[in-house]
Amino acid sequence: MNDLNVEVTLSDMLDAREKRVTVQREIIERYKGTLISFMLNIPGNIKVFPLSLKAHGEAVKLITKALNRQGISVIYQASDSAKTGCESFFVVKEQPIIVKRLMTDIENSCELGRIFDIDVIDCEGNKISRSDLNITERSCLICDDIGHACSRSRKHPIEELQKKVIEIMENYFAEQFVDNCAACAVRSLLYEVCITPKPGLVDRNNNGSHRDMDIYTFIDSTTALIPYFRDIVLSGIKFRNEKPKAVFEKIRYLGMLAEDCMFTATNNINTHKGLIFSLGIICASAGYLYKNEEAVNTDNILKISREMTLEIDDDFNGITKESARTFGEKLYAAYGITGIRGEAASGFASVKNHGLPMLKSLIEKGYSLNHAGALTLLNLIANVKDTNIIARSSIETLKEVQLLTNNLINERGIENISIDEIMDIDNHFIGKNLSPGGCADLLSVTLMLYFLEN
């Protein structure tokens, strides 16, 4: 766009104002209704830049939604962009005073609204003011005085105002992004537990091989993690200037706090420890990419996740059968299995190879998210060395169930496997007291990436 980042002069602004008044008059004469004339209040001599365009678009969305909500019909709408700023016009069939009140509500409803300049003009060309509604004048962005007074007396340096306005816009969109990511994370945990049937795992049919938890334990745990998911995305945003590895070091403590929240919510049952780790990394990576203005897509998220955790499987270096202490270390010493840590350090290779492509192709073919999710889990079980299965049985049993799953997939073709057949596998797993919790976590990660993509 030619108007992007172009400096404007005072005379440009005066010309623009004059032109605007003419346009307003023409629109009113032609459409004979109440006119809403909208601009952003951007201080300084550059009015049009990517962030201001985004904020203008958001305002238009908010105005449109508010009018729709009230059933107010729009008989004319137009937007115009010049180097002096974007302008939008709406003509509506409603009393000006009612429209003004609605627009004031938008201006007051959020921080971003503080930089909206929404004029409401009646069909005679008279501007409705806040005082017509007995609403207090807008306060200054910097101090508590009346905004008009501060701007007339040039109380605050232009640089300070510019900084504040940029901050308001950036924070508004960052909050939106954080909310969306946290919602995707929560949704992926809830979908994962609800997908039914899942061999040996808690689902809507049964508690799988578990005696100490049910679907409600997972709901309790998930809701307890909502603040964690927001905080961890914010950390990715906050530490955008650090190397990914340093970000990971900084978010580890948040992960520990989240584990405390989970154990409190579940009476000390481990429902989501693996996911606090995995989804935490995904969320932080998303925030990091967002703030660095890089595309928040699966490839980039997995790349940053990998960079964050690349060295954590170094923890395994030099571990022998004799020195191994934890279950994870013993698995590594005996079989070279690195579990969820290795998975993260590989950029969630199993999700990339066996999870997401499978889920997406099934959904594209018209499978329900439930059936597609159940089959994706089966595909993960067939391909991933699930440490939870080994923990509850042995490596031999893991090989056995992987062979069984692989044979079924090869013989029947994964797309032909029915819900009833998965139920049979569920009974088999329950009979052997197996629970592929590691694969369930990878299914959640798969769902998270799918939701972020869509």
Q: Which residues bind Zn ion (CB under 5 A)?
A: 140, 142-143, 145, 150
**Burial state string for 396-419 with b = 16 or more CB within 10 A and e = fewer than 16:** eebeebbeebeebbeeeebeebee
CB 151, min distance to Zn ion, A? 8
CB 143, min distance to Zn ion, A? 3
DSSP β-ladder status, 116-121 and 74-82: unpaired
CB of 69 or CB of 152, closer to Zn ion = 152
**SS3 (DSSP) at 207:** coil
CB 148, min distance to Zn ion, A? 10
CB of 150 or CB of 408, closer to Zn ion = 150
CB 154, min distance to Zn ion, A? 10
Burial of residue 15 (number of CB atoms within 10 Å: 0-12, 13-18, 19+) = middle
CB 155, min distance to Zn ion, A? 5
CB of 100 or CB of 138, closer to Zn ion = 138
CA–centroid distance for 386 within its chain: 28
CA distances from 365 to 31, 69, 122, 452 (A): 48, 36, 54, 20
CB 153, min distance to Zn ion, A? 9
CB of 30 or CB of 148, closer to Zn ion = 148
Handedness of CA 184, 190, 194, 198 (dihedral sign): positive
Burial of residue 282 (number of CB atoms within 10 Å: 0-12, 13-18, 19+) = buried
The DSSP annotation for 325-348 comes to -SHHHHHHHHH---HHHHHHHTTS
**SS3 (DSSP) at 5:** coil
What is the Cβ-side half-sphere exposure of residue 222, based on CA atoms within 13 angstroms? 20
CB of 92 or CB of 150, closer to Zn ion = 150
Beta bridge mates, 121: 35, 127
CB 142, min distance to Zn ion, A? 5
Q: At what angle do helices 215-224 and 158-194 cross, to 10 degrees?
A: 170
CB of 145 or CB of 313, closer to Zn ion = 145
CB 43, min distance to Zn ion, A? 12
CB of 137 or CB of 453, closer to Zn ion = 137
Cβ contact 332:422 at 8 Å: no
CB 144, min distance to Zn ion, A? 7
What values do phi and psi take at 20, rounded to 5?
-60, -45
CA distances from 308 to 82, 293, 305, 444 (A): 43, 18, 5, 20
CB 42, min distance to Zn ion, A? 17
CB of 116 or CB of 316, closer to Zn ion = 116
CB of 142 or CB of 333, closer to Zn ion = 142
3-state secondary structure 75-131: EEEEEEEECCEEEEEEEECCCHHHHHHHHHHHHHHCCHHHHEEEEEECCCCCECCHH
CB 139, min distance to Zn ion, A? 8
CB of 28 or CB of 150, closer to Zn ion = 150
Q: Which residue is nearest to Zn ion (CB)?
A: 140
CA 193/CA 22 separation, integer angstroms: 60
Nearest alpha-carbon partner for 330 in 400, 259, 395, 255 = 395
CB of 150 or CB of 258, closer to Zn ion = 150
